[in-house]
Chain A
Amino acid sequence: MPLITRLFIKTGLVFLLFSLIAGVLIQVESVSIPNLQILFWHTLMLGWITQIIIGVSLWMFPGRKREETFSNQRWAWVAYVFLNSGLAFRIIAEPLLKLSASTIWKLLLIISAMLQFIAVVAYIIEIWPRAKGKKRHVKRTKE
């Protein structure tokens, strides 16, 4: 299993843990963290499920180059770094923006949105040509 896949899966597990802790905290009345429900859903759906799908597809889909060099996997690395930094920025900014309308939290939220979108675009660039039929795969390998 390539390093990038292991990183996606293990980081996904960390987000899964985070989301389940958030799920517990939501139920505790004495704890009130703003926007925790939103963070619960996004760490679960994006941080865990989407991240594990991305990680496993990068490994299992046809057309993966065996050599694990950065240039061979650059879009996957962009997706990993941007997705996780974007999600981390959101975890910081969402509750704090509710507590104070400071420009820094607004800026962090905007950066978070952009990072997550770029991460998805990078993943699409990597995986789109690899979602292909056997004939096209064989043809491309011969070339």
Chain B
Amino acid sequence: MPSISVWMIRLAIIYLGAGVLIGGLMLIDKALHLIPLVWILLPVHIEFLITGWIIQFTLGTAYWILPRYLKTKGRGKILPAILMAIFLNMGIVLVIISTLSLEYSFLKLFGRVFQLFAIVLFINLHWKRITSYSKA
């Protein structure tokens, strides 16, 4: 498994743990009404689990598992792949900051743009790898 996939998958697993922890606390509050402040974290719960966990895990796994280039046996240029992982996680962090503080709500746009860049890089890296080794 390439290092980029290892990092993306491990970050995704951390986001899963954190996202489910927040979700669990919200569920407990639904029953006991002890920690109503936890509901502030609802957008964080959603961002962690959708972008941080599901999207990041699938991108990281796809980078590892999709067919490699026939001639070079590689996965393409390394720098765009590193940037893909960095942009996606920067995007998540900026979106989280923007949802937690009104003062920084403008960061949400930047966060989503970073996430968009990450996906553009992913598509660019993988488009030609979505292929078949057989000529038929």
Tell me the A residues contacting B by CB distance below 8 Å.
Answer: 45, 49-50, 53, 57, 60-62, 90, 97, 105-107, 109-110, 112-114, 116-117, 120-121, 123-124, 127-128, 131-134, 137
Contact = CB atoms under 8 A, between A and B. Distances in A.
B43 interface: no
Contact of B31 (A97, A120, A124, A132): A97
B56 to A, nearest CB: 11
A46 B58 CA distance: 15
Interface residues of B, number: 28
Contacts of B25: 113
A112 B17 contact: no
7 contacts: A53-B54, A61-B1, A113-B27, A117-B24, A128-B13, A131-B6, A133-B6
A57 B20 contact: no
Interface in B57-113: 57-58, 61, 65
Given A45-B54, A120-B20, A131 B1 contact: yes
**Which has the most chain B C-beta neighbours within 10 Å: A60, A113, A137?**
A113
A123 to B, nearest CB: 8
B28 interface: yes
B13 A124 contact: yes
Contact of B58 (A53, A97, A109, A113): A53
Nearest to A103: B31
Interface of B: 1-3, 5-6, 9-10, 13, 16-17, 20-21, 23-25, 27-28, 30-32, 49-50, 53-54, 57-58, 61, 65
Given A97-B31, A124-B16, A127-B13, 6 more contacts: A50-B54, A60-B65, A112-B27, A113-B27, A124-B17, A133-B1
Contact of B27 (A109, A134, A137): A109
**Which has the most chain A C-beta neighbours within 10 Å: B5, B28, B31, B53?**
B31
Contacts of B21: 117
B30 A97 contact: yes
A112 B25 CA distance: 11
Nearest to B25: A113
A139 to B, nearest CB: 14
